[in-house]
Homo-oligomer: A and B are copies of this chain.
């Protein structure tokens, strides 16, 4: 055995060359060579490869994997391909896959099956596995119960350290490939009373009683807690794993941080998509017609608000008729307000999501945004007014521009702060509707303030 044997593997990148090689090997059905390549790849990379292959090629590649690897690959696949496999595979094949997965991932798979197929899979599983899955399937997928897995090590507080170590050994042997970091300690009613990290466990003398050495300062979550709240608890307290308890305090499972990482990313994507007026579940792979259906409602809302704005502009048609340059300049005021409003919304929505902004410091937030709005308005207004006065040789037009800009940037700050807070107060996701409400306001006030001031000063303008 040489040194070389132990060189840690370089991560293999899934590039076009590798894809071409694999397509060729699939064409020539070179099973041995394909298996050799797959052997060097992690499940997530294989999933990525299948995602780039045609369904038929992917089927072939997938069939060369062991049920264990099939399971690990299937949970990493994109929605389209996972759906494809879950439809084409027979129930007994899915059972083989589900058996090898941790219970939380197994539950995700079963919940995506047709009712008939799900029932068949649950029937074919061992009684214990089937019961675990049935329990997990009951929970809303966006709660702690929906995130948790049943594989958890619990010990009685009256047990010895030696017994706890045996429990760890048993768990590691039973659920091969899973990592455990803590044992959770329960009383005789199975209620959670403490925890012990496994690295601490091997420090302790085997004869000691658990309740004397355990950490009683333990953070657990109840099954019905929303996943965003669970993620916040993990972030706040830097947790790697947490036990999940039922309403009476009994340990029913655990959540590990890798699932939390997914939740955090999901929630961030949700905010980004909602701020951008995009359906939260849209992806590149979403078919155009489905995307259309997801985006059209937003565009329709904008269409209605846009038509209302148009009719408000139309009120000022005689002013515009007297001085057509007003028509060219008015979108500038509205657009500036929209941009300043978007800045305020972005800060507020993200601040609310991260728990930095709430009603207790709302007044401070409002005061700050209004100051920034007024100052920005004064600066930008002065700048825009000067340029307009110089370019069009009309000082009064510059003054109108400046006054309109200050007014609209103040409105932008006011609405950009109050609308997200108001939506939060009304228990509506601030990311969902803030943008459309605020830009409608800044559009209307932008046009009205500019054309309004212009009407007031009309005799001096023309």
Contacts and interface: CB of A to CB of B under 8 A. Distances in A.
Contact of A261 (B235, B271, B303, B335): B235
A66 interface: no
A448 B240 CA distance: 56
A314 to B, nearest CB: 4
Contact of A331 (B216, B334, B391): B334
B202 A299 contact: no
Interface in A273-301: 273, 275-278, 282-284, 286, 288-289, 291-292, 295-296, 298-300
A122 interface: no
Contacts of A356: 283-284
Interface of A: 1, 3, 5-9, 11, 16, 42, 44, 52, 157, 165, 168-169, 171-173, 179-181, 187, 192-194, 197-203, 211, 216-220, 233-240, 249, 256-258, 260-262, 264-265, 268-269, 271-273, 275-278, 282-284, 286, 288-289, 291-292, 295-296, 298-300, 302-303, 306-307, 309-311, 313-314, 317, 320-321, 324-332, 334-336, 339-340, 342-343, 345-347, 349-351, 354, 356-357, 360-361, 364-365, 368, 371-372, 375-376, 379-380, 383-384, 387, 391, 443, 447
Contacts of A258: 238-240, 257
Given A265-B268, A277-B342, A310-B332, A219 B11 contact: yes
Nearest to A304: B387
- Central interface residue in A3, A220, A277, A310, by most chain B CB within 10 Å: A310
Given A295-B372, A336-B303, A350 B269 contact: yes
B350 A329 contact: no
A104 to B, nearest CB: 12
Which 7 interchain pairs have the tightest Cβ spacing? Answer: A276-B346, A268-B268, A6-B193, A327-B327, A313-B328, A306-B332, A288-B371
A295 B354 contact: no
A282 B306 CA distance: 31
A268 B276 contact: no
Contacts of A171: 199
B180 A199 contact: yes
B218 A240 contact: no
28 contacts: A7-B193, A8-B218, A8-B219, A8-B220, A11-B233, A168-B199, A169-B203, A179-B181, A181-B181, A181-B240, A240-B256, A260-B261, A265-B268, A271-B272, A272-B346, A273-B346, A283-B347, A283-B356, A284-B361, A284-B365, A288-B375, A296-B380, A302-B336, A310-B332, A321-B321, A324-B327, A331-B447, A335-B443
Chain A, interface SS category:
helix
Given A6-B211, A350-B269, A306 B264 contact: no
Contact of A328 (B7, B236, B317): B317
Given A273-B350, A331-B331, 7 more contacts: A11-B233, A172-B199, A172-B200, A272-B346, A273-B347, A277-B346, A278-B343
A6 B331 contact: no
A298 to B, nearest CB: 7
Contacts of A165: 202
Contacts of A200: 172
Contacts of A376: 292, 295-296, 299
Given A168-B202, A202-B198, A288-B372, A328 B314 contact: yes
A262 B260 CA distance: 12
Nearest to A317: B324
A280 to B, nearest CB: 11
A300 B336 CA distance: 9
Contacts of A249: 8
Contacts of A157: 6
